[in-house]
Structure 1
Amino acid sequence: MTACDLYPVLQTGFNMDAALAVLRDILPLPEVTALRLPRGWTPEKAQLSKLVALLHANGVALIPEVDVPLSGTSDSLLGICDGLHVACVEDLVTLRKTVGSDMPIGCHCDNRDDAMKAGESGADYVAFPAGDLELVKWWSSVMELPGVTENVTTPTDASLAIAAGADFLAIPLQFDGKDQERFSAMAVLAAG
């Protein structure tokens, strides 16, 4: 069991070949448990197949960020994902009615009220802005529902988020030649 898990995030406009090359290096880290795809990404069948095979080989969940309604998300992606991520509580409420209670859904929250409403509305995790460690600390001290700290880009950010009680660190892939080094350093911190 790790102190917290690592949650790589692919950004809009990512290159699949570059992503697969980086993911081959970081997904084997035991602290990496989920991968978030950007909103609006429409995969080619061959790309999706390669990505899913790599994720399954490493026991990593596939979590696309989606718009509500789901009309902009491909059926092939919805059919194989392990959960969904939405940008706000209102989308969570609508999506929960659409997909039911079996599909895990995470929700971005900017404040306590949104986080509480997300929890009450069936969120499986809540995600907080990176700069709001007080919100992460409060959440982890009063709630059991997992909390994600978004946009963690350095080991220092990771240390602060872990100290605040984050259960997951959402780390954007930067494709700058340093992703593996960054993830390895954060994995050491996340392992506790």
Structure 2
Amino acid sequence: MIERLSPDILALQEVDGRSHLGRRAGAFEFFLDALGGHVAQARTVPRPGRDHGHLLWSRFPLEEVVVHVLPGPGLERRAAIEAVVAGPHGPLRVIAVHLGLIPRARANQSAFLAARMAESAEPVAVTGDFNDWRLSGSVHRRLAPLSGESLTPPSFPARRPILRFDRLYLRGAVRLVRGHVDAEARASDHRPLVADLDLS
């Protein structure tokens, strides 16, 4: 799927190497070896060979990389990977997220993300699994007013998407040219969000 789509930037959530749960051990190492390029990672459940978390990959250099531990409450540690992608058309600040399951946690986490968006001097893209299926929920209420454009199609479950878990919010001098969920992908229980952006 990644080969077919050939992205310049990729945010992967639920990179899961928990072999004791039947997953592939060393999932992070697998992606790091397979993708090449530039990678920032958030191992939110760090265990040697059995890590769980998410990663941000880019064909172009990543600068100012920070992994933010997001506020709770929650059963699992949640993180946001923030980096400036130094691409040929100018910098783009990308924040890749996997938000919590508890509504109060998502409210706290989306408030944090809204502050990061508002503070960015560069164009910014916030993307990932927001675990909030309602556009009336705290995530969209906080991020949409700051966002020039957003992409929020149904993406879950992959077999017949009805929930808008996976999203993209843009702010500043970046434009959404086109976006969709990839109906052919079968690598996850979510359909991947695909977006073409214009920074010119």
Q: Please confirm whether the aligned pair reaches a TM-score higher than 0.5, indicating the same fold.
A: no
Q: Which has the higher strand share?
A: 2
TM-score normalized with structure 2 length = 0.40
Higher relative contact order (CA 8 A, sep 6+): 1
